[in-house]
Structure formats: structure tokens, C-alpha cells
């Protein structure tokens, strides 16, 4: 069963490339780039991966990102992620990155975007994974910084699929970033935003109304607001849910308490994703296996989640069609018992 879930053709729509930096690669890059670390070895670093909440995690994640210095580092990071993702059945990956986290340290935007794009091109072609890059504006910096990052990123427009919004949610409502999202959308970029992870349901409506978000990243707190649930359902707004992340960042106490089944029962469009797999101990396949085993979702429900991930992607129509056909072929070849 585990093999069936891992093999399911699927899209990953919510993964931060900086959050895929495994401790081994982190140490390798730190040595190569002479970046000092507070940890003696990989085991000591892994032991620090215990988080009380989002901010606690972000501090460790941003520190880890300092080892990324050169275009080559970003290329290797993208390749390492795509190899793991492909082994988990990922056929389409829409990958977040935090440009300001790097440019603030003096790294050129070109090294970040062109480095990631080169990794996506090489590994994507070799592994049969269609890819797209989504720079996220970090909420802890002001909109002026986001606007500068957008203008710099637009020099590499051909590599960009959309824009997103991440980092410290509480205290930073979507209204703070309305202008930069309007500018990005005027360039034809898709818009997504983290909302309703730690922040209140109002941040979800704000992301839709003020940012033009087409998908909501996390969105689990929508359930506190029935009218918002009805809106998300009626408008079929996809929510990119990250179950193991929600446990690690104490959004839910235990996986058994995760609201995913309630979200599905409410008729919401939900997808399963890994968020920051190197820090949360699970790639997308692990998230599929965990929700099947711990939340009692049957095979038909799991297939529906994989199908929804492909449909909610920003892939071109012909790519979506091919991946959906691959999914149906996979189900037929594995017995068709879970066709849903
Ligand atoms: N950046 C990386 N992971 C994040 C998360 N789960 N929420 C907000 N920003 C993030
Ligand atoms: Zn995220």
C-alpha cells in the first residue's frame, strides 16, 4: 500500500526549496563556502529540529539558508529535491524560494533564479518532472523590499510561474503586500499566499480579496469560519495542506487531530504537500502515507488527493492532461481497486 501511494503520479504545489536542504548537503556547502556553523555535525544539527511554532522554525531555516552562496549551490539543491520528489511519484513541482533571504546577504538574484532554473531544467528533463518556480515575498520585511525583489526577479521572468507570500504570518496581514501582488499579476504571474496556518481566517479572505491569490497555502484555520468555508468550496479555491508540517510546527497537536478529513467532508479542494521536508522529517510521499494510515483516508480518497494536486497546478493544459492520463493508467495497472 505504501508503494502504491508513493508511486501515485502527483503534483507538489507547496514546497520551499530552502526547506529541502538536508543536513548532509548543508554541511557540504558550509565547508565548500567557508560558512561557520553552530553545530559540530549532522546529528547535532538534526537534534535541533524541534520547534515550538512557526517563528522558532523560521529562525533555524533562515540560518540554514546562509550556506547557499553560489549558483551551483542552488542548482544542486534543486536537483537533490527533484530526485527525492520523483521517487515519490511527483510529476509536477511548483517550487517556492525566498529571494530576499538570499539577496539580503549579498547574493545576486541571478545566482538564485538561474541556479534553481538550471537544476530544474537538468533534473526535470532527466526524471520526467515538469517544474515551475515561485518566488515568495517574506512577510517579516516591508513591502518596499518585496517590490525591489520583484523587480530584480523580473529580469528572469521566463523562469517564473508566479509569486507567493510566506514567513512570519501573525502580525503581517495580506493588506501589507497588496501593491506588490498587483504589480506581479500585471506581469502575468500567478498569485498564491500562505494564510490561515497560524494566522486567523481573515488572512485567508484577505489573500483572496487583496492579493488575488488563486490558491491558499495551508488554509487549515478556514474551518473556524463557516462562511469562508462556503466561499472556498463554491469557488473551488485549492488549499495546499501540509500535514506533517502542521504537526512539527504545533498547528495541530497530533496528526490524528488534523482537520484534513473535515476539510474534505466540507467539499474543499485540498492537496497534500511537504512544505519543508528536510526539517519536518517527511517528503510528499511520507505525507500521503501518514494521512492514509493515521487519518483513515481510504484509497479512493488518496487517489482523489493526487488528482486534485494535478488539477490545482498551474501546469499548461496539455501537461495536466498528460499527467491525469498517467494517473488513470497507473490506477488501472495497479488493479483499479482505488479508481475512486
Ligand atoms: N517558510 C517556509 N516554511 C514556511 C511555513 N510553513 N510557513 C510560512 N513560511 C514558511
Ligand atoms: Zn509553506
Q: What is the pLDDT of residues 231-257, one digit of tens each?
A: 999 999 999 999 999 999 999 999 999
Which atom number of ligand 1 is nearest to the Cα of residue 242?
A: 6
Expressed in percent and rounded to 5, the helix, strand and coil fractions of the chain are: 60, 15, 30
CB-CB contact of 285 with 323 (8 Å): no
Domain boundaries, the chain: 2-339
Arithmetic mean of pLDDT over the chain: 97
Whether 248 is in the pocket of ligand 1, judged by its Cβ within 6 Å, is: no
Could you say which of 197, 214, 224, 256 is catalytic? Answer: 197
Is the pLDDT at 336 greater than 90? The verdict is no
Active site annotation includes 197: yes
pLDDT band at 321 (very low <50, low <70, confident <90, very high): very high
User: 136 CB contacts (<8 Å, ≥6 apart)?
Assistant: 16, 96, 97, 98, 163, 164, 165, 166, 167, 194
pLDDT band at 279 (very low <50, low <70, confident <90, very high): very high
pLDDT band at 339 (very low <50, low <70, confident <90, very high): very low
Residue 195 Cα to ligand 2 midpoint, Å, equals 9
pLDDT of residue 335: 75
- State the average pLDDT over residues 292-321: 98
- 208-218 pLDDT per residue, tens: 999 999 999 99
Cell of 81: 529535491
Tell me 335's DSSP state: T
Is the pLDDT at 340 greater than 50? The verdict is no
* Ligand with smallest separation from the Cα of 17: 1
Whether 99 is in the pocket of ligand 1, judged by its Cβ within 6 Å, is: no
pLDDT of residue 166: 98
Q: Whose CA is nearest to atom 1 of ligand 1?
A: 167
- 149-179 pLDDT per residue, tens: 999 999 999 999 999 999 999 999 999 999 9
pLDDT band at 29 (very low <50, low <70, confident <90, very high): very high
- State the average pLDDT over residues 256-279: 98
CATH of segment(s) 2-339 = 3.20.20.140
Q: Quick check: helix, strand or coil at residue 205?
A: helix
Which atom number of ligand 1 is nearest to the Cα of residue 167?
A: 9
Whether 167 is in the pocket of ligand 1, judged by its Cβ within 6 Å, is: yes
Percent of the chain whose pLDDT exceeds 70: 99
pLDDT of residue 252: 98
* Ligand with smallest separation from the Cα of 58: 1
- State the average pLDDT over residues 118-125: 98
Amino acid at each position: 500500500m505504501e508503494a502504491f501511494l508513493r508511486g501515485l503520479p502527483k503534483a507538489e504545489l507547496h514546497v520551499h526549496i530552502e526547506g529541502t536542504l538536508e543536513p548532509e548537503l548543508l554541511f557540504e556547502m558550509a565547508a565548500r563556502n567557508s560558512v561557520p556553523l553552530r553545530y559540530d555535525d549532522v546529528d547535532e544539527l538534526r537534534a535541533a529540529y524541534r520547534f515550538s511554532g512557526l517563528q522558532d522554525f523560521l529562525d533555524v531555516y533562515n540560518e540554514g539558508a546562509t550556506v547557499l552562496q553560489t549558483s551551483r549551490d542552488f542548482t544542486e539543491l534543486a536537483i537533490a529535491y527533484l530526485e527525492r520528489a520523483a521517487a515519490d511519484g511527483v510529476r509536477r513541482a511548483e517550487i517556492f524560494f525566498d529571494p530576499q533571504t538570499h539577496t539580503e546577504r549579498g547574493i545576486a538574484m541571478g545566482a538564485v533564479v538561474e541556479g534553481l532554473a538550471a537544476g530544474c531544467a537538468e533534473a526535470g528533463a532527466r526524471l520526467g518532472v515538469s517544474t515551475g518556480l515561485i518566488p515568495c515575498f517574506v512577510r517579516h520585511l516591508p513591502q518596499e523590499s518585496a517590490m525591489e525583489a520583484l523587480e530584480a526577479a523580473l529580469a528572469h521572468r521566463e523562469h517564473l510561474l508566479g509569486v507567493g507570500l510566506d514567513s512570519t504570518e501573525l502580525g503581517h496581514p495580506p493588506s501589507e503586500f497588496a501593491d506588490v501582488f498587483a504589480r506581479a499579476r500585471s506581469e502575468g504571474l500567478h498569485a498564491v499566499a500562505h494564510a490561515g496556518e497560524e494566522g486567523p481566517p481573515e488572512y485567508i479572505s484577505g489573500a483572496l480579496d487583496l492579493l488575488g491569490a488563486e490558491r491558499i497555502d495551508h488554509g487549515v484555520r478556514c474551518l473556524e469560519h463557516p462562511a469562508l468555508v462556503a466561499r472556498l468550496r463554491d469557488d473551488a479555491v485549492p488549499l495546499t495542506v501540509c500535514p506533517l508540517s502542521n504537526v512539527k510546527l504545533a498547528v495541530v497537536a497530533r496528526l490524528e487531530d488534523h482537520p484534513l478529513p473535515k476539510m474534505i467532508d466540507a467539499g474543499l479542494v485540498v492537496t497534500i504537500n511537504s512544505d519543508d521536508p528536510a526539517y519536518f522529517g517527511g517528503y510528499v510521499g511520507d505525507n500521503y502515507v501518514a494521512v492514509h494510515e493515521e487519518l483513515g483516508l481510504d484509497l479512493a480518497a488518496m487517489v482523489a488527493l493526487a488528482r486534485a494536486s494535478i488539477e490545482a497546478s498551474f501546469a499548461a493544459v496539455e501537461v495536466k492532461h498528460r499527467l491525469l492520463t498517467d494517473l488513470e493508467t497507473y490506477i488501472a495497472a495497479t488493479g483499479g481497486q482505488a479508481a475512486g
